[in-house]
Amino acid sequence: MSRTAAFLLLAALLLGACGGVSKDDYAEDLNDVCTDIEEKTQEIGEAEVSNPAELSAQLDDIRTAIRDGIERMKDLEKPDGEDGDTAEEYVTKLEQTLNEEVLPALDDLEEAVLAKDQKQIQAAATRLQRIDEEETDQLAAELGADQCSEE
């Protein structure tokens, strides 16, 4: 093998080792975070509450669990190229949905419960159920993160 060929082979190997994580490794890490979020919010939501202060604390814990999960997602090493772009788009869209739809609906639910307004409780609950997750589900599916997608 000539020196030039050996150098090119070595350069190719080194460049390959310098890239981001693989799509499969990223999907596995992302699935771990989504599973953690799901388990934490489910556990928090199953706790019995007997007064408004406990409900407020419970909703705060749910908000925190979701925010912390998204922060963990942001910190994950992403793959290079189009998969990295998809990963970035997924986390950005998820955070946008949280801030623009989920948190306001949770705030409205909390206010309605504290006011004992059944009509507003139902409206806030309906808003939460109707949040469109199609785009984030599709992005998660593209990444292979099946625990983050309902597809």
pLDDT, tens only, 67-117: 999 999 999 999 999 999 999 999 999 999 999 999 999 999 999 989 999
* pLDDT tens sequence across 33-75: 999 999 999 999 999 989 888 989 999 999 999 999 999 999 9
What is the rounded distance in angstroms from the CA atom of residue 95 to the CA atom of residue 92? Answer: 5
Give me the residue spans of the domains in the chain: 21-148
Nearest alpha-carbon partner for 146 in 12, 30, 2:
30
Give me the residue label for tokens 């788009």: 89
The label of the residue with tokens 């998969």 reads 83
Report yes or no: 19 and 80 within 8 Å, Cβ to Cβ: yes
Residues present in the chain in total:
151
Give the dihedral sign, CA 131/136/140/142.
positive
